[in-house]
Amino acid sequence: METTNFGEHFMLDCYGGDYERLNDKDLVTIVLIELPEQLGMKRLSDPYVFKAEDNAIKDPGGWSGIVVIAESHISIHTFPKRKFVSIDVYTCMNGINRELIKKYFKEAFKLEEIEENFVRRGTRYPAHNVC
């Protein structure tokens, strides 16, 4: 059976962000609207952004947001008091513009440092329907 890879998962852990920007629900929402457009992706929903309260362990609270796209999803979890944001861009598209994504988030949240992980997903995904 001929195979291909299903898509790409680009994960960013970002440090030294601007407290006010990381604590801005409207900015998180705007990012989840703008980035799919810039990447040529189709949103299937409006973004959902939720206030995550301090859990008194290691999570000091922040904003968690997700947008479902035809190609999968983009999620953001901000931790303003730690100046940290965790981001996932998961898509069935191949060849996503990782530099554009990093630059976009660096500017949006005024980040100082970005740690990135990239995974090709579904590396044995069937190239054709089997049924």
CA-based end-to-end distance of the chain:
13
What residues are annotated to the active site?
Answer: 72, 77, 92
The CA-based dihedral angle spanning residues 96, 34, 110, 12, taken in that order and rounded to the nearest 10 degrees: -40
Other beta carbons within 10 angstroms of residue 106's beta carbon come to 16
Strand partners, 126: 3
Tell me how far apart the alpha carbons of residues 119 and 108 are, in angstroms, rounded to a whole number.
24
